[in-house]
Structure 1
Amino acid sequence: NFSLICCHSNNTHLGSSVKSLSTSSLTPQNTSFSEAFNYSLYSSNNVSNLNNKNIADISNCSKETSHQNGVCRKKAYSLPHHYKPSPCFGSWRVKKQEESDQKHVYLSSPLTPQQFKQRFSLMKEWFNEFTDEQRNRVLVDLLQHIGPSQVHLLSVAIGHRLHEGCPPNCQDPISYIPAHLALIVFSYLDPVSLARASQVCKSWYKVIMCDYLWKRLSNLEKWSLSSEANNRQVNKCLRSDGSSNWRQVFIERFRLRRNWLGAHCHIRTFEGHEEGVSCVQFDDSRIVSGSHDNTIKVWNRRTNSQWSVQTLVGHSGMVRCLHLADKRIVSGSADRTIKVWDVEETTSWSSITCKVTLVGHTDIVRCLQVKGDTVVSGSYDKSVRLWTLTSGQCKMIFLDHNKPVLTVAFDERLIVSGAADTTIKLWDIQTGECLKTLEGHKDAITTLAFDSSKIISGSLDCTIRIWCLEKGLCVKILDWMSSEGHTDVIRCLAADSWRIVSASDDKTIKVC
């Protein structure tokens, strides 16, 4: 018992009183050093095989005392007198001890070379009889039983044989197919994945940099711009040889969409009008505004300086609508006229003059749109008029609305008008015939936009409606209850193939 206690004390690094005991006092007399060493190992093994009961007995020994020659002495013990065993620590120690016992049993009885050879030969015979699927299953299971040293050995031994016997395109099939097929494969990727794929290797980068992929993405409906904006952007992104850099074109469109959807903006304020601003137009370098103070101002987008502002004076009533196109500004006013202004600018001077005044409406000119040499206007006199700019003549009058016309839009075939009578009308631009009347809004139509398939309208009823152009039916309603829409009057909107931007009296601009 005493020898077991001392060995256990050595394992737990106890005090010097136990350590000072000499090895000779623990081993039988007249033994050699090797025999003593083996004896100590045997004692240690016995300690490692102690169960919970042995440990408890040893701990209890520390509390017992013996009286020899009238002197009270404490027996040697395995733990310090101030030690308080913890239940958690005890259970952990037992668990580790059991694991140690199992490991010791495993190491104490290894296979003999002959046994290993027989069993390994049997394993190889079985493995050779397995199918490929069975072999794969065996390997998968074996991988769960190997340690770090075996994993390292595998990586060194089979690193150069991983693709032995594989076809040449096993690792990179893209590099072994024709370029036009590789382009088709990459055309299925989204822009972010395509950019990441270009970083895989030089061969992939060379294929992905082809203009075909980026031009295709740029022309998708999700990323497309108006024809005018598209031409302007493509002409700006030219290489030295005169070809278009479609990758750069798409990068700019990607950033544009991200900024729109993420509401990233920089706010600048232009001050100068004496009364409220009723209408605004802009291009790449200018902002044109019309006001209730009867003036039109042309602002330089690059600066807020008052010295760069041009003021157009000519209307005798408030300016209600504007259109800006290249070097021409067309304005409609409460004085019942439409004026055409020519803008000329150089690096040293600029000039704006009124070239033509269109007279014909009998009430406020509320809305207009210009394309080329054609102007379509709507008025509080309940009429829609078609004008020629160069001659200043009215070519056709469209009469069918019962209340003031508040918004118009047109293309080569149709004119679409919205009025205070809550209806939207479609007109044939050649014959002047009313083709359809769209009903559904509960109040006046204040703004609209359309393309080849749909019409989008905003109203005083606080809703935006999307209509099927061909059938004349409302296909969707955007309101504050179902679509987080506006809570007040819709004043204006603009739309393209992938977004609608609307402004309202609820002091918000929404993008959907």
Structure 2
Amino acid sequence: MTSEVDPHTTSEIQAVEFPVVGFSHKSSNKYGRWKHKEQCNNESDNLNFDENLGNKTAVNVEFEKQLDELAIWFENWSHDERCKILEHLILLGNYSQFQLLWTSTQPVLHRDFMYNSRERYPDEFFTPLSTEISRSTRQRLTRNRTIQRYHRAKSVYLRNEQDVKSHFRLLPKINAEERQGDDDEESEDSGGLDSPFRLPNLHHRRSLTTPIDHVKSSYENPKANWMTAMQVRRHLQADEGRVKVIDSTPNNATLLYRWFNNWSGSQRATFFRLALMKLDARQLYFVANFLSVRSHRDMLALLPSNLSHYILSFLTPTDLSNCSKVSTTWRKLCYNNFIWKRKCLETRMGVRPVCTPLLGGWRSSYKEDKVMKRNWREGKCHVTELAGHVGSVLSVAIRDDLLVSGGKDNTVRVWNLDNCKLIQTFTGHQKGVWSVAIVSPHMIASGSYDRTVKVWRLGSHGACLRTLFGHQGPVWTMVCKKHFLASGSHDRTVKLWDMRHCLLHRTLKGHGSAVFAMDADDNMQMLFTGSADRSIRIWRVSDGQCVRVIWTGEKSSIMSLSCQQNLLASASGGRVTIWEHSTGTRMRTYKAHKKRIENVKLRITDSAAPSGVLITAGKDGKIKYWNIYGRGKVNQLQGHGCHVNAVTADATRIVSASYDETIRVWDFSDLTR
């Protein structure tokens, strides 16, 4: 059965191709009949475009009535009214409607559309929108010097909805004083004169938002064009054959908003698809710009700061550094102390964190630690030479920023490592000082070839507090942990001194030759001694018993020992051996120097990884260090003019003493400071 056609409107019907990408609609040759397909498994109401009107539900009929009324309203609305209503509808819509409009209006930003729109509306501004893609393309092309000219039309930079409205002159006109105030406020938002970034000023005279006096524009009653061919449908009513046409009233926009809130998702999509056909080039350009601004919403900046910090704390330090380059807001969020405190706690820090936000706080500490570790791997350091001894420097010891050295000139010198300046000089020994130890921040000890151990007080009242006698030969080595001081001598004995009272606590005997090397664990429970008899003895400090003897099998004396955690390093000849002292097992042996190794220092950087550094100094004048687990290269430090007598290290530096009467500080911390 053929449906009736209104003879008054048949001649006005023509096929219209919808120009928007992704959506094409041709009006039916039968007036008032739009075909829709009902989708299965869709909870939303769909329009049923069956020719049999009796099958339509009341909801679908009501929706079609509303579309009829909206078609008339759109014809009567001015350009400003359309833009404001579209803005409000976009804000009421959800993500699906946003994606629909975004996809449909993308061709609007094409240059052909801009050219044709300028021809149709010469009084309007149709300027390409500045986007990240366009800016990166310009930067990439102009970077190549072979491209002398890069033709590109001037673009507009819109940051928010207010800029879009101002660009389309939808905001009320402001006077000169208000405009000056806006300029001042914008200059503050953009960071002032000292800020490295400055956003374009939309109120500049050459800006696209500045009204042009000689151009007279009128937005009232826009002429219909090829995009306005949307037909008005008629519905069969119970009492009449035609629908009653409702005139446009000031309240019709509010009624549209209420209808829009009650529509389902498919009904909203249908309305937007048909509404786009009623818009001219000006409104389409407005929608495209409005959607472009809203599509780049900074969601992280809109969240509460504590929630943003919690989200960012799950990123890696590299990702945080990249995120901090996005904007000023992101940089402030990524530099928060809470985030970097977690990063510092997750890694083994080689430097002490400074929890002061004004000084950079935890982030500065993390950066300094990362730079320092990289410098250790690559062998990059800043060298400072300390000169003061008039003879060979025989021994060094460091703790925090305090450096103590003993020399062949019979003096003990105290240095400040922060500024590398001499603090104090102690004299009193009759012969060269072969060993030094730091007892506390205010007390040091020294052992000499004159068979004595002297205790010195630091500060303005510095003096020799005690002279400890007992050894029958030169004191070659010393170590101090907790309140015990152990000294090893040429008389083949090791003496334990209680530094709380400066009294002899116990004498350990067992070696068959001179004791040249000594070290202890962090708690001073186990003491390790190396002798010219080529053996290593492990002593229990509590009762003075020798719990284990390790015969190294070397051909020369044990010249140096260094213990950390469960590992013990011993130097004999030109070789270094790593032992597991709890079992006495030999783990690894390195051929480090061609000549005899004078000193060795073991430093475990991370026991969980595992990772550790072994530092050696020899008579060949070289200082070498490498990873004890075999990863990475062997780094070599050279600079002394003669063989190196002693070496020690902490997390940030290596300190070496040489026969050339100098001390060198090899600093691996941030070289840019």
TM range (shorter): 0.5 to 0.7
Match of 2:447 among 332, 339, 354: 332
In structure 2, the residue matched to 1:502 is 616
The corresponding residue for 1:394 is: 504
Q: 1:197 to 1:404 in 2, by over 3 A?
A: farther
Shift of 1:293: 2.6
Residue identity opposite 1:463 in structure 2: R
Structure 2: tracts of 5 or more residues without a match: 1-16, 18-22, 26-109, 114-127, 132-284, 606-612, 627-673
Question: CA offset at residue 187 of structure 1?
Answer: 4.4
Instruction: Report the equivalent of 1:96.
Output: none
Q: Distance in 1 between matches of 2:368 and 2:597?
A: 30
Between the aligned partners of 1:461 and 1:473, the Cα distance in structure 2 is 20
1:249-260 correspondence runs (5 A): 249-260=365-376
Map 1:335-354 → 2, pairs under 5 A: 335-345=450-460, 351-354=461-464
Query: Once the 2 structures are TM-superposed, how far is the Cα of residue 354 of structure 1 from its aligned partner?
Result: 0.8
Distance 1:266 1:187 in 2: 38
Q: Deviations over 1:380-416 (max 9, x none)?
A: 2222221112322221222233322222222322212
Separation (CA, whole Å) in 2 of partners of 1:161 and 1:416: 74
2:549 & 2:304 partners in 1: Cα distance?
56
Change (3 A) 1:472 1:458: closer
- Paired AA for residue 535 in structure 2: T
Alignment of 1:368 with 2:483, yes or no, is no
Answering whether residue 625 of structure 2 is matched by residue 511 of structure 1, we say: yes
Q: Which amino acid aligns with 1:399?
A: K
Change (3 A) 1:353 1:182: closer
Say which SS state the counterpart of residue 366 (structure 2) adopts.
helix
1:218 equivalent to 2:344? Answer: yes
Which residue, out of 440, 448, 470, partners 2:561? 448
**3-state DSSP class of the match of 1:196?**
helix
AA at the equivalent of 2:406: G
Q: What is the deviation of 1:278?
A: 0.6
CA contact (8 A) 1:194 1:208 kept: yes
Structure that is richer in helix per residue: 1
Q: Which residue of 1 aligns with 2:429?
A: 315
Residues of 1 paired with 2:604 and 2:510: CA distance? 30
Matched letter for residue 331 of structure 1 = S
Contact 1:290 1:296 in 2 (8 A): yes
Shift in alpha-carbon separation, 1:366–1:283, aligned structure 2, 3 A: same
Q: What is the alpha-carbon distance in structure 1 between the residues aligned to residue 450 and residue 410 of structure 2?
A: 10
* Partner Cα distance (2:447, 2:366) in 1: 37
Identity of aligned residues (%): 24
Q: Where does residue 209 of structure 1 map in the other structure?
A: 335
> Aligned ranges for residues 30-69 of structure 1 at < 5 Å?
none
Which residue is 2:490 aligned to? Answer: 380
Partner of 1:429: 541
Aligned partner of 1:488 in structure 2 is: 595
Taking structure 1 as reference, are residues 423 and 238 closer, same or farther at Cα in structure 2, changes over 3 Å only? farther
Helix, strand or coil: the match of 1:421? coil
Counterpart in 2 of 1:409? 519
Q: CA separation in 1, counterparts of 2:291 and 2:418?
A: 64
| 8 Å contact from structure 1 (residues 378, 384) kept in 2 | yes
Q: Secondary structure at the match of 1:247?
A: helix
Question: Any idea what SS the aligned residue of 2:500 has?
Answer: coil
Residue 175 of structure 1 and its aligned partner are, at CA, apart by 7.6
- Residue type at the aligned position of 2:619: D
Larger radius of gyration: 1
The 8 Å contact of residues 429 and 450 in structure 2, kept in 1 or not, is answered as yes
Q: Tell me, yes or no, if the aligned pair for 2:313 and 2:342 is still in contact at 8 Å.
A: no
Q: Deviations over 1:474-496 (max 9, x none)?
A: 333333xxxxx333222223343
Instruction: Specify the SS of the correspondent of 2:504.
Output: strand
In structure 2, C-alpha distance between the alignment counterparts of 1:420 and 1:207, rounded to whole Å: 61
Q: Supply the distance in 2 between the matched residues of 1:246 and 1:335 (Cα, whole angstroms).
A: 49
Aligned to 1:103: none
CA-CA distance at 1:183 after TM superposition: 4.1
Find the residue that maps to 1:492 and give its secondary structure. strand
**Corresponding residue number in structure 2 for 1:42:** none
**Which one of the candidate residues 550, 558, 577 is aligned to 1:465?**
577
How far did 1:343 drift? 1.4
TM-score of the two chains, using structure 1 as the length reference: 0.56
Conserved? CA contact 1:403–1:419, under 8 Å: yes
The answer as to 2:412 corresponding to 1:292 is: no
Any idea what the Cα deviations from partners look like across 1:344-393, whole Å, max 9, x if unmatched?
23xxxxx3211111222222211111234321122222222211123222
Matched, 1:277 2:389: no
The CA deviation at 1:463 is 2.3
Query: What amino acid maps onto 2:532 in structure 1?
Result: A
C-alpha separation between the residues in 2 aligned to 1:438 and 1:174?
64
The match for 1:43 is none
3-state SS, counterpart of residue 403 of structure 1: coil
| Residues 277-324 of structure 1, C-alpha deviations (whole Å, 9 max, x = no match) | 11123456654321223222334667788xx67432222222110013
- The count of aligned residue pairs is 356
Partner of residue 384, structure 2: 267
Structure 1 residues 272 and 384: alpha-carbon distance in aligned structure 2, compared to 1, 3 A threshold: closer
CA contact (8 A) 1:438 1:472 kept: yes
In the superposition, relative to structure 1, how do residues 362 and 182 fare at CA in structure 2: closer, same or farther (>3 Å)?
same
Unaligned runs of 5+ in 1: 1-116, 118-122, 126-146, 346-350, 480-484
Q: Say if 2:496 and 2:507, in contact at 8 Å, map to a contact too.
A: yes
TM-score scaled by structure 2? 0.44
> 283-292 or 390-399, which moves further after superposition?
283-292
Deviation at 1:244, TM superposition (A): 9.6
| Shift in Å, 1:438 | 3.6
Aligned twin of 2:653: none
Tell me which amino acid in the other structure corresponds to 2:534.
T
Alpha-carbon distance between aligned partners in 1 of 2:573 and 2:537, rounded to the nearest angstrom: 18
**What RMSD in Å do the two structures reach over aligned CA positions?**
4.6
CA–CA distance in structure 1, aligned partners of residues 289 and 557 of structure 2: 75
1:430 to 1:302, Cα distance in 2 relative to 1, 3 A: closer
Which residue in the other structure is 1:418 paired with?
530
Q: Which residue of 2 aligns with 1:356?
A: 466
- Shift of the alpha carbon at 1:181? 9.1
Residue of structure 1 in register with 2:7 after alignment? none
